[in-house]
């Protein structure tokens, strides 16, 4: 892969991470929903999770005939799935959780509580790269929207280095991306997806989780290949 191809791929990755971060950060507003409906149909990737998840999301979007009504339905489902507002108590899991709270520490510690070592590691990674996430109403740095935003930030840093011809800096940033992806997002996205499947009521959000997990797997595969090629070239 030559430098121009790397730039195009990295720019696309920035856009993908930005969109995923936005979709998990808060409810979908009317403008975003309209943009999603009009977005081009994605080509199959060969990743079963991504392709099946995208198919569910696309089918949901294609069925929309009233933006206001479906926007409201998605807002309700976001609150049900991720915030626990209005959830049937009978849906609570064995630990008593009544939502798929989107924080890494909940799924990595098994205690259903925020904070701890995993959250601290995420915060340390942010500080080391001089990254400050858009916290808004998010409680902790290990919210999935913050972690996805961090991947966007790193990919954008890589893109800036590539465009400046600073290939060593780009390679170093790429290594950080893979380390964070493997050490954090991929370590809990599967468990998070299982929780979302329990609490979400629309194919949009269950599909989004499958699509996100598939995308993270695809991106990790891409980063491993590029890093391996660079190691071979350095010998």
137-167, pLDDT tens digit by residue? 778 899 999 999 999 999 999 999 999 999 9
Higher per-residue pLDDT: 201 or 1 = 201
pLDDT value of position 163: 96
pLDDT value of position 81: 93
At 84, the pLDDT band (50, 70, 90 cuts) reads confident
pLDDT value of position 136: 76
> How far, rounded to the nearest angstrom, does the alpha carbon of residue 179 sit from its chain's CA centroid?
15
22-81, pLDDT tens digit by residue? 999 999 999 999 999 999 999 999 999 999 999 999 999 999 999 999 999 999 999 999
Q: How buried is residue 143: exposed, middle or buried, by Cβ count under 10 Å (0-12/13-18/19+)? A: buried
The average confidence (pLDDT) of the chain is 92
pLDDT value of position 51: 98
Q: Quick check: 173 and 157 in contact, CB under 8 A?
A: yes
Helices 167-180/203-234 angle, 10° precision: 140
Q: In the chain, at which residue ranges do the beta strands (DSSP E only) sit?
A: none
Question: 106 Cβ partners below 8 Å, 6+ apart?
Answer: 97, 112, 113, 114
CATH of domain 3-86+102-234: 1.10.3480.10
Helices 117-128/144-163 angle, 10° precision: 30
Q: Quick check: 97 and 199 in contact, CB under 8 A?
A: no
pLDDT value of position 128: 97
Apex 43 CA angle, 229 and 154, nearest 5: 45
Whole-angstrom distance, CA of residue 124 vs CA of residue 130? 10
95 has a pLDDT exceeding 50: no
Six-digit token pair at 187? 């370590």
Higher per-residue pLDDT: 184 or 111 = 184
Whole-angstrom distance, CA of residue 191 vs CA of residue 189? 6
To which H or E segment does residue 145 belong? helix 144-163
Six-digit token pair at 175? 């290594």
DSSP string, 32-83: HHHHHHHSPPPPP-S-HHHHHHHHHHHHHHHT---HHHHHHHHHHHHIIIII
110 has a pLDDT exceeding 80: no
For residues 6-12, give the mean pLDDT: 96
To which H or E segment does residue 23 belong? helix 3-25
Domain boundary assignment for the chain: 3-86+102-234
Share of the chain above pLDDT 70, in %: 92
For residues 199-210, give the mean pLDDT: 97
105 has a pLDDT exceeding 60: yes
At 96, the pLDDT band (50, 70, 90 cuts) reads very low
Can you give the C-alpha Rg of the chain in angstroms? Answer: 18
pLDDT value of position 1: 79
């Amino acid at each position: 892969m030559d430098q121009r191809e790397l730039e195009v791929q990295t720019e696309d990755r920035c856009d993908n991470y930005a969109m995923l971060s936005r979709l998990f950060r808060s409810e979908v507003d009317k403008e975003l929903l309209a943009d999603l409906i009009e977005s081009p149909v994605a080509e199959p990737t060969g990743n079963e999770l991504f392709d099946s998840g995208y198919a569910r999301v696309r089918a949901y979007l294609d069925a929309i005939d009233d933006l206001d009504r479906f926007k409201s339905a998605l807002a309700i489902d976001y609150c049900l799935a991720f915030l626990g507002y209005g959830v049937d108590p009978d849906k609570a899991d064995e630990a008593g959780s009544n939502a798929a709270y989107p924080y890494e520490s909940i799924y990595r510690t098994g205690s259903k509580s925020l904070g701890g070592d995993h959250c601290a590691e995420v915060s340390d990674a942010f500080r080391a790269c001089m990254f400050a996430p858009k916290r808004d109403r998010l409680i902790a740095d290990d919210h999935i929207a913050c972690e996805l935003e961090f991947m966007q930030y790193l990919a954008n840093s890589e893109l800036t280095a590539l465009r400046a011809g600073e290939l060593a800096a780009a390679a170093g940033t790429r290594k950080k991306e893979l380390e964070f992806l493997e050490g954090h997002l991929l370590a809990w996205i599967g468990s998070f997806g299982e929780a979302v499947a329990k609490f979400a009521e629309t194919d949009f959000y269950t599909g989004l989780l499958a699509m996100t997990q598939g995308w993270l797997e695809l991106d990790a595969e891409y980063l491993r290949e590029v890093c391996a090629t660079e190691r071979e070239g350095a010998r």
